[in-house]
Amino acid sequence: MAKKEGETQRHHEKFLASNIKALIRKYKPKPGAKSPTELRDAKMTGFGMRITPSGHASYVVQYSTRNSLGKKIRPRYPIGPVSDISLADARDLARDVLAQVRQGKDPARERIEARNAPPPPKPHSFGEAVDRFVAEELIKQTEGSQQIAKSYLARLDQWRDRPIKDIGRLEIIDFVDAVVASGRREKQHGYRYAGARVLSILRVFFGWAKDKGLIDENPAQAIRSPFARGEKKSRERFLTEVEIARLWPALDKMGFPFGSMGKMLLVTGQRRAEVAKMRWAEVDLEGALWTLSSDRTKADREHLVPLSSLALEVLAEIPHFNEGDFVFTTTAGAKPVSGYSKAKRAIDELIASDGGEPMDEWRFHDLRRTLATHIAGIRHPGSREPAYPPHILGAVLNHSPGALMGVTSVYNRWAYLEEKREALEAWANRLRAISDPTGKVVTLENETA
C-alpha cells in the first residue's frame, strides 16, 4: 500500500559509526518530499535518526508515556545534529532520557516548558539598590545624614552595575581600609572615624537590602570597625578662651556668610547643618526665639533656641535677599551655604595671620562642644555647683530629655525655655568679654549668671 503524502517514512537499520554518512545519503528524502525520513536503530530501542529533505540529520529518542488526560502518547526528544555529536555520545544521551522516563518524567514536555518559561528575573544591581535605598530609607534621616551617606555611597560607582548579591565581605573591608588609608595620607585627624562611619552606612544599607529580599545575608554585619575594641573615644576638642579670642576677630574678617555662620555656631551651640540651613521664617526677632521644626533636627523633635543679645547682633548684620529665605547663603537666599572645608581653611589662614602660635586643629562641630564646656564651668558666687546643671545644658543642645523627664518631655514643649535663655545670655556676656578688643580675658570660674 502506498504511503500517504507527507507521512514520515520509517526504516530500521543497525547504526554503526562508520556507516552514518552512507545511511544519510541512502535515506535522504527524494526531491519534492515534504516529510523527513526516520531511521530506527536496530541495536537500541527508541533511538533513531531523522533526515529532512534538505539533508539535515539529527539524532532523536522516542518513548511512551501518558499526557495529563491519561492518554498514551509517544513524544520524540531531539538529541542533537549528527554533524555536532558522535554516535556514542548520542546513545549515552538517549539512555539518560529513557532513564528519566522510567522515573516517571516526561523529558520532552519538560524541555518545552523550560523553553517557554519566562526568563529568570535580572539580578538587582548595586546601583539600583542604592537608588531605591536613598528613595525609601535614607529619606527618613536628617538632611545632614543623607548627604554624608550619599557622598560615601557615590564613591562606590565601580560596583554600580554589579549584582548586589555579588558584593562580598572582603570587598567591603578593602573599601573601608581605603577610606582610612586615604585619610591617613592626607593627615586627616578623623580618618578612622571616617572608616567607622562608612562601615556603619554600609551595614545599614546591606541590612535594608536583606530585609527587602535583595540579598540573603548582610556582608557588612560582621566586619570589625577600624577602631580596636574599646579604642574609639568621643572627640574632646573644645576651644579655650585664648583660642576663642583669636577666632572671633578672624570670623569678623571672614564676614558674611561663613564668618557670620561661625559666630552663630559659637553663640547658639547648635549643630552645623541646623545653623547653615537657618531660615528667616524660623526666626522671631521680636521674641528673640529660633524655632527648629522636628524635620530640621537630628533628634527628630521641635527645638526652641532662645536668641541671646549677641545672637541678635549677629543676625542684625546679615543682609536679607529676595531669592529665598535662607539666612546663610551665597545664592541670594535661594540655597544654604556649602563648601565648609574651603571656608574652614580660609578662617584658619586668618587666625594664623595674627602672628600667634599655630592653633591646634579644630572643626566647626567643636564650637558646639566649646559652648557646652564653658557654660558648664559657670558658677554662681559662693557656690561650687554649676549655675546651669546638665539637664539645662542638655536642653540647650537638644539632647534627649527622656532619661530626665520621662513621658513628660513629650508634652513639655516649653521645657526650660527661660533657663536656656539665661544660660545662653550668660554665655553671650562671656563671649563679649573674651573677644574684647583690649584682649582682656576673664576666667569663667565664679562668674555670675
Single-letter amino acid code for the residue at 159: W
Confirm whether 218 is domain-assigned.
no
Mean pLDDT of 298-315: 92
The pLDDT value recorded for residue 329 is 94
Give the pLDDT band of residue 77 (cuts 50, 70, 90): very high
> Where is average pLDDT lowest: 76-80, 116-120, 376-380?
116-120
Give the pLDDT band of residue 84 (cuts 50, 70, 90): very high
Mean pLDDT of 284-309: 91
Please indicate, yes or no, whether residues 284 and 428 belong to a single structural domain of this protein: yes
- Look at residues 240, 281, 252, 301 and name the one whose alpha carbon lies nearest to residue 430: 240
Confirm whether 88 is domain-assigned.
yes
Q: How far is CA 137 from CA 181, 222, 379, in A?
A: 29, 22, 45
136 pLDDT more than 60: yes
Confirm whether 296 is domain-assigned.
yes
229 pLDDT more than 60: no
The pLDDT value recorded for residue 445 is 42
Confirm whether 339 is domain-assigned.
yes
Please indicate, yes or no, whether residues 52 and 182 belong to a single structural domain of this protein: no
The pLDDT value recorded for residue 406 is 43
**Following DSSP, what letter does each residue of 278-336 receive, concatenated?**
-BGGGEETTTTEEEE-GGGSTTSS-EEEEPPHHHHHHHHTSPP-SS--BSS-SSTTSS-
Strand-pairing partners, residue 12, are: 40
Please indicate, yes or no, whether residues 99 and 132 belong to a single structural domain of this protein: no
d(CA 425, CA 434) in angstroms, rounded, equals: 14
263 pLDDT more than 60: yes
Contacting residues for 173 by C-beta, under 8 A, at least 6 apart: 223
The pLDDT value recorded for residue 43 is 85
- Look at residues 155, 190, 151, 149 and name the one whose alpha carbon lies nearest to residue 174: 155
Cβ-based neighbour number of residue 3 at 10 Å: 10
d(CA 255, CA 248) in angstroms, rounded, equals: 11
35 pLDDT more than 70: yes
Pick from 81, 116, 151: which residue ends a domain? 116
> Where is average pLDDT lowest: 10-14, 20-24, 116-120?
116-120
How many residues does the structure list for the chain?
449
Strand-pairing partners, residue 37, are: 9, 51
d(CA 137, CA 110) in angstroms, rounded, equals: 42
Please indicate, yes or no, whether residues 296 and 381 belong to a single structural domain of this protein: yes
166-189 pLDDT per residue, tens: 999 989 988 888 888 876 655 554
Please indicate, yes or no, whether residues 311 and 419 belong to a single structural domain of this protein: yes
- Look at residues 157, 43, 148 and name the one whose alpha carbon lies nearest to residue 365: 148
Give the pLDDT band of residue 224 (cuts 50, 70, 90): confident
Confirm whether 234 is domain-assigned.
no
d(CA 133, CA 206) in angstroms, rounded, equals: 10
d(CA 82, CA 42) in angstroms, rounded, equals: 18
Please indicate, yes or no, whether residues 89 and 191 belong to a single structural domain of this protein: no
Contacting residues for 49 by C-beta, under 8 A, at least 6 apart: 15, 20, 23, 24, 38, 39, 41, 57, 58, 59, 60, 82
Confirm whether 4 is domain-assigned.
no
- Counted domains in the chain: 3
288 pLDDT more than 90: yes
Please indicate, yes or no, whether residues 14 and 59 belong to a single structural domain of this protein: yes
The pLDDT value recorded for residue 297 is 86
| Ramachandran category for residue 439: left, alpha or beta (phi over 0 → left; psi -120 to 50 → alpha) | left
- Look at residues 196, 198, 192, 199 and name the one whose alpha carbon lies nearest to residue 152: 198
Please indicate, yes or no, whether residues 188 and 312 belong to a single structural domain of this protein: no
Confirm whether 232 is domain-assigned.
no
Tell whether omega for the bond before 389 is within 30 degrees of 0, i.e. cis: no
Pick from 93, 116, 139: which residue ends a domain? 116
- Look at residues 8, 216, 210 and name the one whose alpha carbon lies nearest to residue 129: 210
d(CA 249, CA 259) in angstroms, rounded, equals: 9
The pLDDT value recorded for residue 231 is 46
Please indicate, yes or no, whether residues 182 and 291 belong to a single structural domain of this protein: no
**Following DSSP, what letter does each residue of 54-90 receive, concatenated?**
TS-EEEEEE--EE-TTS-EE--EEEEEETTTS-HHHH
Report the CATH number that the domain containing residue 92 is assigned in CATH. Answer: 3.30.160.390
235-246 as b/e: b if 16+ CB within 10 A: eeebbebebbbb
Please indicate, yes or no, whether residues 295 and 154 belong to a single structural domain of this protein: no
Confirm whether 139 is domain-assigned.
yes
Please indicate, yes or no, whether residues 390 and 427 belong to a single structural domain of this protein: yes
Which grid coordinates are listed for 207? 541590612
Highest-confidence range of 15-19, 44-48, 111-115, 192-196, by mean pLDDT?
A: 44-48
Mean pLDDT of 264-284: 95
Mean model confidence pLDDT for the chain? 85
The pLDDT value recorded for residue 190 is 54
> Where is average pLDDT lowest: 30-34, 37-41, 109-113, 352-356?
30-34
CA atoms within 13 A on the CB side of 217: 9
The pLDDT value recorded for residue 412 is 53
Give the pLDDT band of residue 235 (cuts 50, 70, 90): low
292 pLDDT more than 90: yes
Computed on alpha carbons and rounded to an integer, the radius of gyration of the chain in Å comes to 39
> Could you say which DSSP state residue 229 is in?
T
- Dihedral sign computed on CA atoms, order 236, 242, 246, 249: positive
Q: What distance separates the 2 farthest-apart alpha carbons in the chain? A: 130
Please give the backbone phi and psi of residue 167, each rounded to the nearest 5 degrees, phi first. Answer: -80, 120
Percentage, residues of the chain above pLDDT 70: 87
Give the residue numbers spanning the domain of 323: 241-434
Give the pLDDT band of residue 138 (cuts 50, 70, 90): confident
405-447 pLDDT per residue, tens: 443 444 455 678 999 999 999 999 999 999 875 544 444 443 4
For residues 211 and 31, which has the higher predicted lDDT (pLDDT)?
211
Please indicate, yes or no, whether residues 269 and 379 belong to a single structural domain of this protein: yes
For residues 42 and 30, is the Cβ–Cβ distance under 8 A?
A: no
2 pLDDT more than 50: no
Pick from 90, 116, 142: which residue ends a domain? 116
Report the CATH number that the domain containing residue 378 is assigned in CATH. Answer: 1.10.443.10
The pLDDT value recorded for residue 194 is 77
